[in-house]
Amino acid sequence: MRQITVTEHLLLHQKKSPAATGTFTHLLNDLILAAKLINRSVNKAGLLDILGGTGEMNVQGEAVQKLDDYANRALIHRMERSGALCALASEENADFIPVPQKFTRGDYILIFDPLDGSSNIDVNINVGTIFSILRRKSPSDQDVSYDDILQPGVEQVAAGYFLYGPSTMLVYTTGLGVHGFTLDPTVGEFLLSHPNMRIKERGKYYSINEGNHHYWDESTQKAVGYFKGKDNGLGAPYSLRYVGSLVADFHRTLLYGGIFMYPMDYKQPDKPRGKLRLMCEASPLAFVAEQAGGAASDGRRRILEIEPQALHERVPLFIGSKEDVASAIGYYR
Ligand code: AHM
Ligand code: MG
């Protein structure tokens, strides 16, 4: 059997993509190295003193886990030295980070959620790293500004995620389909295991935090009621699956079909909001979903067309099989 590495795959299958340059390949390989380091720590989490919180809160007002902090530092350290980037932006940092002048700078921008689902770390449940790669808009000799960072998802050059689970996977797209690689720990390489991933037009699973039912508006209650309803016209009620790690819930949705929803809610009545972040969570996964034949919406707009107003902007998310997403967002018209 022929084993295809990520670099080989980029050279062989992504030739037509503007992302298939030497610099981009280098960027992706540095990202892979950072992910392997994070994977190593996640794997040993129970053995080292890296479980639990740091005692600090992040810019989102959420408790920072020690592994969140490690993953964030590993990514920043590795990626600012890659020579391919001019700036990075992380879920854990309030502002974007321009690549310091002492390092070689490139034209790409990396936006990431270093350890998605980190509230699940202490109980040994899948977590992941989500990434989005953009190209700067301004000339290379100028300082990077928020105009370079706040680009809608349609401008992404590449996006994807690493899933640290029973096996460790990389799933990514450069706009030429979605491809999945599994880490072979014996040789330390990600090898092509899921070429050309496609998501079913309709699935059998819905995924949402049902504990928020009382905080939802009527449209959301009806949308969720549709999937679990006996007389929904879908043949049978959908089964519920909810890990609470977006990467894991999305990965299952990609492979089995169905829908993942994190709608707007009224948990804080004066501040109705979605929970997930547009730039480092929703947009990259929306790019993957669409490239696999699925869809992603905030209920009214295609996620990829939303013009971000702020780096940490939150957005409601309906993502997965095309027909399931269409059914859900039909309740928001
Ligand atoms: P995180 O990036 O800080 O881990 O937060 C995002 C996570 C997602 O992985 C997951 O889908 C969601 O929060 C779960 O939220 P809830 O506990 O409200 O259901
Ligand atoms: Mg997250």
CA angle 177, 179, 180 (to 5 degrees): 160
DSSP state of 45: T
Tokens of 10: 């980029």
Measured in degrees and rounded to the nearest 5, phi and psi for residue 215 equal -95, -5
CA-only gyration radius of the chain, Å: 19
Q: Which ligand is nearest to the CA of 262?
A: 1
If you average pLDDT over residues 222-241, what whole number do you get?
Answer: 91
Average pLDDT over residues 64-76: 90
What's the full length of the chain, in residues? 333
Asked whether the predicted pLDDT for residue 113 surpasses 70, the reply is yes
Per DSSP (E only), the strands in the chain are 53-57, 63-65, 85-90, 97-98, 108-116, 127-135, 158-164, 168-173, 178-184, 189-194, 205-207, 239-240, 259-262, 295-297, 317-320
When pLDDT is averaged across residues 135-155 and rounded to a whole number, the result is 97
Ligand 1 atom at shortest distance from the alpha carbon of 62: 3
Residue 38 above 80 pLDDT? yes
Q: Are strands 127-135 and 108-116 parallel, antiparallel or unpaired?
A: antiparallel
The pLDDT of residue 64 is 73
Task: Return the higher-pLDDT residue of 40 and 45.
Answer: 40
User: Which tens digit of pLDDT belongs to each residue from 178-225?
Assistant: 999 999 999 999 999 999 999 999 999 999 999 999 999 999 999 999
What is the Å distance from ligand 1's center to 139 Cα? 36
Q: Are 92 and 277 in contact (CB under 8 A)?
A: no
Burial (CB < 10 A; 0-12, 13-18, 19+), residue 79, is buried
Pocket test for ligand 1, best of 209, 251, 268 (most atoms within 8 A of CB): 209
d(CA 25, CA 289): 22
Q: Which atom of ligand 1 is nearest to the CA of 118?
A: 4
pLDDT tens per residue, range 253-272: 999 999 999 999 999 988 88
User: Any residues with CB less than 8 A from the CB of 281 and at least 6 apart, and which?
Assistant: 91, 113, 116, 130, 246, 317
Let me know if 167 is exposed, middle or buried by CB neighbors in 10 A (0-12, 13-18, 19+). Answer: exposed
Nearest CA to ligand 1 atom 15: 244
Give the ligand at the shortest distance from the Cα of 92: 1
Mutate to test the pocket of ligand 1, among 66, 162, 275, 278 (most ligand atoms within 8 A of CB): 275
- Ligand with smallest separation from the Cα of 317: 1
Position 152 scores a pLDDT of: 98
Which atom of ligand 1 is found nearest the CA of 113?
2
Give the ligand 1 atom nearest the CA of 249. 11
Rounded to an integer, the average pLDDT of 79-92 is 97
Backbone CA torsion sign across 203, 207, 208, 213: positive
Tokens of 314: 């939150």
Q: Which ligand 1 atom sits closest to the C-alpha of 245?
A: 9
What is the model's pLDDT at position 13? Answer: 76
Give residues (CB < 6 A) around ligand 1.
62, 91, 113, 116-119, 209, 244-246, 249, 262, 275
Q: Which of 308, 252, 257 is nearest to 280 (CA)?
A: 308
Q: Which of 81, 7, 70, 5 is nearest to 43 (CA)?
A: 70
Mean pLDDT for 271-295 is 96
Rounded Cα distance between 115 and 101, Å, is 27
Q: Give mean pLDDT, residues 98-114.
A: 97
From residue 216, how far is each of 131, 141, 195, 227 by CA, in Å? 29, 47, 38, 16
Q: How far is the CA of 275 from the centre of ligand 2 (A)?
A: 9
CA 166 / ligand 2 centre spacing (Å): 19
Atom of ligand 1 nearest to the CA of 281: 2
Residue 20 has pLDDT above 70, yes or no: no
The arithmetic mean of pLDDT across residues 32-56, rounded, is 83
What average pLDDT does range 301-325 have in this prediction?
Answer: 98
Predicted confidence at residue 55, as pLDDT, reads 77
Torsion angles phi and psi, residue 45, rounded to 5: -50, -40
Q: Compute, in angstroms, the gap from residue 62 CA to the centroid of ligand 1.
A: 10
What is the distance in A from the centroid of ligand 2 to the CA of 140? 30
pLDDT of residue 52: 72
Average confidence (pLDDT) over 71-98: 97
Of 210 and 49, more confident: 210
pLDDT at 19: 65
Window from 15-29, 112-126, 228-242, 319-333 with minimum mean pLDDT: 15-29
More confident site: 283 or 57: 283
